[in-house]
Amino acid sequence: MASPPPASAPRHAPTHTLRALATLTPPSNSRTWQTAPHPSSPIVATACSDRSVRVYSLTSFTLLHSITGGHKRSVRSVSWKPHVRGQDVLATGSFDASAGIWRRAQHRLEREITSSTGVDDDDEDDDDEYQFACILDGHESEIKSLSWSPSGQYLATCSRDKSVWIWEELEEDNFETVAVLQEHDGDVKCVAWHPEEDLLVSASYDDTVRLYREDADDWVQVSCITGHKKTVWWAEFEGSGMAKSDFRGQRDALSEEQERHIEELDKSGPRLATCSDDISIRIWRRKAREGGHGAKDGMPSIIRSAAVDEDWYEEAVLPQAHERPVYSVSWSRRTGMIVSAGSDGKIIVYKERWKASSSAQTESDGTPAGPDADAPLTEWVVVAELFSAHDVFEINHVVWAERADKGKRDGEEVVLSTGDDGEVRVWVLDEQGLEEEKEKEKEKEGAAP
Amino acid sequence: MDVDKQNANPTILSLSDLPSRRRGSNLNRRNDGSTGLFDGLIPQYSHLNDPFEQSLSSSDSDDDSVEDIDEQEVFDLISSISDPEHPLSLGSLAVVNLPDIHIQPPSSPHSSISTVLVEVTPTITHCSLATVIGLGVRVRLEQALPPRFRVDVRIKKGTHSTDEAVNKQLGDKERVAAALENGTLMGVLRKMLSTCE
């Protein structure tokens, strides 16, 4: 429907550079799968195929803890429980079909971070380490991904056994299975939560993406998204309230059409990004449930019989910069930019912007032209492209995190990439020649009628 | 099916009929006889289909390690793998064939990643061991080739009843990784690969 035209040259004009900041040391000797930044502390956990989880500092870029002895096979996925006071709680999902919960008191951690010189005498006793708390058994085969809901109330896990499980922590270390969702026809590769609602997404080997929410005490599928032609490797929601910080942040001189776009996007709520073995990355958007704006853009309003069903449609396909399967995609919570990585070893950063044509249109006569009324108002462009980010190795995961080392600028983020080489690399996104940009802007303005 | 072997009487090629390094000097580097099966694997870079660009980019390359592995060498690496149910090699059973091996050089001067595509031909169309054979080929090449090679193993189109399903499995890195942590399967693979030097 609203698919943008295929990638063309102007959508591949890098304006930023990914600069290597650090490699977390020491790296693992074998494949690393995924790295999860802690929701509030400057630490990350990395899932390793050597059955361990490595916890690194983003301040010193060094290894703080190695969590071993729990899983019998590769640790595939890690997720920090949000909103926990006084301790760090980590969930680990493994190819051994089990999930583990680990805890560690937080006061020690703070001390470590403040004394970042690294020459403190803190290997005194065991309670400094992550303690195994409990095991979540139930899946029949490898756990591929797990994720805590934003409130920390639920933990979702998914597996090659085609199911998605939702666990609720009733009291500390007492987990109850609240749902076993068996909608997929193949391995479930990834689960992720909506940032504002208890809405869960899962992506699968069956090429579909499915969404679930609770309806009258039962978790049910509320949407099935088709569009990818091969395995969907990753799904992630956009951050909450991004209208303030992404392309929508600059509100001056917008056309009526653009204002309406922002308003409607706000009603849809955070969007969803998915990436696939088919090499594409797609953005999905929820059809706003109520509101009279549906009629304005010619869309018939839909009256639902099943009140919980949601209609998610493809809003955009990102310009294709990858040559092999894309394993991971992540939205920046600060800028709304998207970063992706995969088998080709590249890291690509994309940014959404208003299409030049629509702003030119407003400048000329202010009324939207008829034939273009259905064309998307925004487009995604590649702003940075990095080859061989992990030498010749594949990149399994990529994610944004708050920058925490001494050189950080205010509110700056880093990109963390996790590779088959066992390394987690830290990248800074630098804007290329700001001066050059200004020149270009001037030229553009000069060229406009 | 009174024997436990799925194909009790496979066609066997004489070892002397198999392509060897000595006679394979004049190899066609890129087989463009597209089967359609691997079209999806070829990056959407038009210069890849241009033989002149192709030769330019390989002569431009000053990295001498990049062009040192050809289809014959890949064939030599995998033809000696043993069939899981016969005491014969995949080469002699014509499960792997030189014309079905395709090497794609890096698609851009910024990249050092080459792709090896091997299409295997199962001895019979419903051979349930196709996945194991494919896995053996993939593991062998991942172990023997430098890490800059991406290994794609597929069932040759039309030779197997469930080729798409098998291809999907063989192409799934995560499944392959998990399979290699399975002791029983690893035992089978080790036996298959024990005949490779």
**Preferred mutation among A392, A393, A418, A420 to probe B, highest tally of B CBs within 10 A:** A392
Contact indicator for A232, A208 with CB cutoff of 8 Å:
yes
B176, B138, B131: which is closest to B155 by C-alpha? B131
Q: Kindly state the DSSP code that residue B94 receives in the 8-state scheme.
A: T
Contact A231 B108 (CB under 8 A): no
Residues of A in contact with B43 (CB under 8 A): 323-324
Nearest CA to A345 out of A317, A323, A320 is that of A323
The CA distance from B128 to the nearest CA of chain A, in Å, is: 19
Q: In this complex, is the C-beta atom of B109 within 8 Å of any C-beta atom belonging to chain A?
A: no
Report d(CA A150, CA A212) in Å as an integer: 15
Q: Is B44 on the interface with A (CB under 8 A)?
A: yes
Tokens for B68, please give them.
Answer: 């040192």
Identify the CA nearest to A420 among candidates A348, A350, A341. A341
Spell out a b/e string for A110-129, using b for 16 or more CB atoms within 10 Å of the CB, else e: eebbeeeeeeeeeeeeeebb
Which one-letter amino acid corresponds to residue B153?
A: V
d(CA A33, CA A50): 10
Burial label for A267, CB within 10 Å (0-12, 13-18, 19+), is: middle
- Compute CA distances B184 → A94, A402, B187, B188, B191, whole Å: 19, 44, 5, 7, 11
| Gap between the Cα atoms of B136 and A39, Å rounded | 42
Of A228, A34, A68, give the one whose Cα is nearest residue A144. Answer: A34
Distance from CA of A323 to the nearest CA of B (A): 5
* A324 DSSP assignment: S
Tokens linked to A280: 């594409």
Provide the residue-wise pLDDT of chain A in tens; the chain has 449 residues: 444 444 444 567 789 999 999 999 999 999 999 999 999 999 999 999 999 999 999 999 999 999 999 999 999 999 999 999 999 999 999 999 999 999 999 865 555 555 544 444 444 455 689 999 999 999 999 999 999 999 999 999 999 999 999 999 999 889 999 999 999 999 999 999 999 999 999 999 999 999 999 998 899 999 999 999 999 999 999 999 999 999 999 888 899 999 999 999 999 999 999 999 999 999 999 998 764 333 334 444 454 445 789 999 999 999 999 999 999 999 999 999 999 999 999 999 999 999 986 444 444 444 444 445 568 999 999 999 999 999 999 999 999 999 999 999 998 999 999 999 999 999 999 998 764 555 555 555 555 44
How many whole angstroms separate alpha carbon A420 and alpha carbon A49? 9
Pairing verdict, β A43-48 and A32-37 = antiparallel
ipTM: 0.84
A65 bridge partner residues: A55
Closest Cα in chain A, distance from residue B11 (Å): 35
Question: Is the entire prediction scored with pTM above 0.90?
Answer: no
